[in-house]
Structure 1
Amino acid sequence: MSGLTLEPQADWDRQYIDGEWVEATGGETITVENPATQEAFAEVPAATVDDVDAAYDAAEAAQSEWAARPREERNEIVQNLLEEINDRYDEITQLLATEAGTPSFRATAEFASATGDVEMALELEPPEEEVRPSTSIEAKDNHVVYEPVGVVGIISPWNFPFHLSMRALAPAIALGNTVVLKPASDTPITGGLLIAKLCEAAGVPDGVVNVVTGRGSDIGDRMTGHPTPRVISFTGSTSVGKNVAKNAGESLALPALELGGNAPFVVTDDADLEVAAKAGAFGSFFHQGQVCISINRHLVHEDLYDEYVDRLVEHAESLYVGDPSEDESVTFGPVQNETQRDDILAFVEESVEAGATLETGGDADGLFVEPTVLSDCTNDMPTACNEHFGPVAPVIPFSDDEEAIELANDTEYGLSASVFCEDETRARELADRIEAGMVHVNDQPINEDHNAPFGGVKQSGLGRYHGEWIVQELTEPKWISVQNDERDYMIF
């Protein structure tokens, strides 16, 4: 695409369907704001159900031809996409700062994750064809081949919009599927329209990637319940995820869900206190706590408890708060929207009313919620038992390993967790007993690796992302039998 423009003030008032930039059929738009200033900087289309239908029709029409291309040809186009992304670092990170309140270092990390998503996609291969002898019929061979599932619907969240869209999109198209992407309405540019422009510039064929920008309340049910997609990839809250799974199930689409979390951060009595506190602060305050795998509860042995709280407070109060779109040295930005802010502050207030001690923070200026540390907490307080999804660190004491495990597992969620413990054997025993899809020893839980399965258990989702695990979600096995000699049918 010649003259590709990705600045925040560029024209973002068209959605991308079947290789064309089109208005929403209803003619309405959604205002996009910078959360740091709460000022509007763009308008995007408010897609309708008809737009979703058109996007799925385009994806369905393009899929068989795209899948029929040799893998090398598809990879050439995916490689072009990677190069387009790498050439646009400054513009993409500035958009993330403006639309998602992303500090510079965090935008750099998200950019690296997104490029890693594409690099991973270039390496993915479906399992090789297998030939197995029949167990019941003589002279018959069973061939098992793996084919693309077809059309993939993707609904991405606002907290890591660029990365979490690319995490599903890049492997989907590399494996021969086509995509309809609906980004979150808070971040429709970095989660969707930006990606459409990059795909167009990379030469992705018409209909292979389609982007509709609309409110979930208007088009969410049609996105997830449409009869065309074979997989619905959703990242978001557990409550919404359950509805996504219901809608997808009614159309017999596979729901691939990364949902809510309530990560415990277990600090044992032999842990390196300063290292643990620094990791704990990062795990609670990175991206203002708006991370599904951030620390939701600090579970600290009673012998280290008071000093740990003191050091956590010091780290919280050292953060540099500001507008990431104006100052690259900012380490702590705004939360995404007023609903998020109000929920966080309500959880803090209710926890204090229930007996927690406010050590620092607890207030907000606009959408800048102060880094907050609460001591004297229990597992049933609102900041602990809910996924607060904000810069809040409730600290809960425990007396021994058994109590730590009981506290860690006392939640409906099971996404990520971590353990700080000097004794590796003991640490591994604790990690094995924590009910989570991902557990990190001597680190905080905000980790992602393209060479490891990403996903949760319990109410934290279904399926796994990355590597061979995402291949399982985006391809399906097909059985082709070959009868080599004439078969005796017995009744003739």
Structure 2
Amino acid sequence: MSDLDLTDVDWTVQYIDGEYVPPTDDDTLSVEDPSTREQFTEVPAGTTDDVDAAYEAAAAAQEAWAAKPPQQRASVVRTVQDLLKEHRDEVLDLLAAESGSTRTKGMAEFYTAVGISGEAASFPTRMSGDHHESTVAGKENIVVREPKGVVGVISPWNFPMHLSTRAVAPAIAAGNSVVLKPATNTPVTGGLLLAKLFEAAGLPDGVLNVVTGRGSEVGDRVAGHPEADVVAFTGSTEVGKHVAGTAAQNLATPAMELGGNNVHVVTEDADLDRAVDGGVFGSFLHSGQVCISVNRHLVHEDVYDEYVERLTERADSLPTGSAHDPQTVVGPIIDESQRDQILDYVEETVDAGATLETGGGHDGLVVEPTVLSDATNDMAAACNEHFGPVAPVIPFSDDDEAVEMANSTDYGLSGSVHAGDVGRARDIADGIDTGMVHINDQPINDEPHVPFGGVGDSGMGRYNGEAVLEEFTEQKWISVQRDERDYPF
């Protein structure tokens, strides 16, 4: 058992160079529980000076950290994994209080973060190089893999701990240092919690730094700091394009996982029980606040009515309410602005001719599970990433039309296909322009050893496994001229 206590923590600090730094001039941001709208905590409103101090500390600490033996770096990350397991219930309570995570969603996020930490702990001994024959007589070519340096991480509010961990743990394991800017809504589970875990695991001062505050005030400095060698961002496409451009001005590598508009394709020969099960989970987990959730249900016209009927029945039966109730499946939206955007999309879609089968209302921040039939691809809830518990169901007549409809978006993150014949499903999946697609399943899948990312407006680069190791390291060519070389002059 560790001495770490997560039940009584003063979160009103930032974490810079191994020190917990209180707010300057008492300038703080309130963090509210989405289920109760009561203050959960408050955190410092960070400044560009705080960002500069964090990057200065990270740059100063990185070289010594990279020089540590691989087993020492692996031990720190593995200890973080152990600490997560030891404090599971406290972490789940924090996720519920800060991000409105229901028990089901919290468990999914928790175990994904645990898995990513375990995978990252293997990186220090997997950073292998290569050896190449030379075109020059007596020369040896060696390619080694080294950490890139300082990694800036800007993480979102929907899966805050998971999506911070998937960048922070691999970056640190590979020998980099990190400056982490968590989302304004989730500074604890997306940032300060990780600081506590890595500190307890024995990470040297300065290797991980956490700056809290408004992205509008410090985001550009985090993304565009001259000390940043990589900038890892997860969030909306609009903001991601700006972050990538800002990072590129300093030739930092942008690693971007952005928005999605993911389809759930159901053919006429699909097992409807499995297809509906997948559609319900894919649309309503975490109230649809998932970049890889089902945004559009594309269903063959021969089974369309039955699918809509079954999906509606299931949506009606889902328990809704507070994230603190272990029975709740559909909990609150993160805040009022997100809720209002979702409801606007639903209203616009109904005004455009769709049928509201169920839902469409809200109780506080809890938006009712909503099913929209007679939808088309150009309706607001379908063509936009609605990021809510909303399921527009759109009919198609043949596989070619399904693929064409799936691809009528600038996004390309995830998707799913249900068909009775796996070969047919594979043909459809091959035709969908997306970074990930899942057959006889739904789009919400994330495994720590499998590349995760999108194409088009859904981002650039990949997380997880060897893919993220490529993002956070670089190759260096070293040649050794063993024999004397003859030069022409």
Q: Please indicate the TM-score interval, normalised by the length of the shorter structure.
A: over 0.9
| 2: CA distance, partners of 1:343 / 1:183 | 23
Partner residue, 2:152: 153
| Identical counterparts, % of pairs | 61
Question: Which amino acid counterpart does residue 453 of structure 1 have in structure 2?
Answer: P
| 2: CA distance, partners of 1:58 / 1:439 | 41
| 2: CA distance, partners of 1:424 / 1:192 | 42
SS of the residue corresponding to residue 296 of structure 1 reads strand
| 2: CA distance, partners of 1:181 / 1:126 | 24
- 1:382–1:480 CA distance, 2 compared to 1 (3 A): same
| 1: CA distance, partners of 2:34 / 2:259 | 22
Q: Give me the CA root mean square deviation.
A: 1.3
Asked whether 1:169 is paired with 2:168, we answer: yes
Q: Which of 339, 363, 366 is the equivalent residue of 1:368?
A: 366
Offset of 1:274 from its aligned partner?
2.0
Asked whether 1:316 is paired with 2:315, we answer: yes
Offset of 1:26 from its aligned partner?
5.1
| 2: CA distance, partners of 1:397 / 1:471 | 41
For normalisation by structure 1, the TM-score amounts to 0.97
- 1:26–1:150 CA distance, 2 compared to 1 (3 A): farther
SS of the residue corresponding to residue 40 of structure 2 reads strand
| 2: CA distance, partners of 1:462 / 1:448 | 17
Offset of 1:127 from its aligned partner?
4.4
8 Å CA contact 2:74–2:122 kept in 1: the answer is no
8 Å CA contact 1:126–1:471 kept in 2: the answer is no
| 2: CA distance, partners of 1:268 / 1:84 | 45
Offset of 1:343 from its aligned partner?
0.5
| 1: CA distance, partners of 2:286 / 2:202 | 33
SS of the residue corresponding to residue 438 of structure 1 reads coil
| 1: CA distance, partners of 2:106 / 2:344 | 28
Offset of 1:41 from its aligned partner?
2.0
SS of the residue corresponding to residue 13 of structure 1 reads coil
Offset of 1:3 from its aligned partner?
5.9
| 2: CA distance, partners of 1:381 / 1:192 | 37
The one-character-per-residue Cα deviations of 1:200-226 (angstroms, maximum 9, x if unpaired) are 111111001111111100100000000
The one-character-per-residue Cα deviations of 1:232-259 (angstroms, maximum 9, x if unpaired) are 0100000000001000000100000000
Partner residue, 2:393: 395
Partner residue, 2:264: 265
Partner residue, 1:128: 128
Offset of 1:138 from its aligned partner?
2.3
Where in structure 2 are there 5+ consecutive unaligned residues?
A: none
- 1:269–1:244 CA distance, 2 compared to 1 (3 A): same
The one-character-per-residue Cα deviations of 1:244-303 (angstroms, maximum 9, x if unpaired) are 100000010000000000001100010111221121011000100000000000000000
Question: Which amino acid counterpart does residue 348 of structure 1 have in structure 2?
Answer: V
Counterparts of 1:17-416 in structure 2, within 5 Å, are: 17-25=16-24, 27-124=26-123, 125-135=125-135, 137-325=136-324, 327-416=325-414
Question: Number of matched residues?
Answer: 488
Offset of 1:5 from its aligned partner?
3.5
| 2: CA distance, partners of 1:332 / 1:353 | 25
8 Å CA contact 1:257–1:463 kept in 2: the answer is yes
| 2: CA distance, partners of 1:348 / 1:458 | 26
Question: Which amino acid counterpart does residue 374 of structure 2 have in structure 1?
Answer: D
Question: Which amino acid counterpart does residue 48 of structure 1 have in structure 2?
Answer: T
8 Å CA contact 1:322–1:332 kept in 2: the answer is yes
| 1: CA distance, partners of 2:231 / 2:24 | 24
| 2: CA distance, partners of 1:133 / 1:62 | 36
SS of the residue corresponding to residue 437 of structure 2 reads strand
Question: Which amino acid counterpart does residue 474 of structure 1 have in structure 2?
Answer: F
Offset of 1:10 from its aligned partner?
3.4
| 2: CA distance, partners of 1:408 / 1:42 | 42
Asked whether 1:485 is paired with 2:471, we answer: no
Question: Which amino acid counterpart does residue 437 of structure 1 have in structure 2?
Answer: G
Partner residue, 1:15: 14
Offset of 1:37 from its aligned partner?
1.2
8 Å CA contact 2:267–2:300 kept in 1: the answer is yes
| 1: CA distance, partners of 2:290 / 2:91 | 20
| 1: CA distance, partners of 2:137 / 2:179 | 45
SS of the residue corresponding to residue 283 of structure 2 reads helix
SS of the residue corresponding to residue 397 of structure 1 reads strand
8 Å CA contact 1:175–1:475 kept in 2: the answer is yes
SS of the residue corresponding to residue 376 of structure 2 reads coil
SS of the residue corresponding to residue 96 of structure 2 reads helix
Offset of 1:451 from its aligned partner?
2.3
8 Å CA contact 1:126–1:175 kept in 2: the answer is no
Question: Which amino acid counterpart does residue 385 of structure 1 have in structure 2?
Answer: C
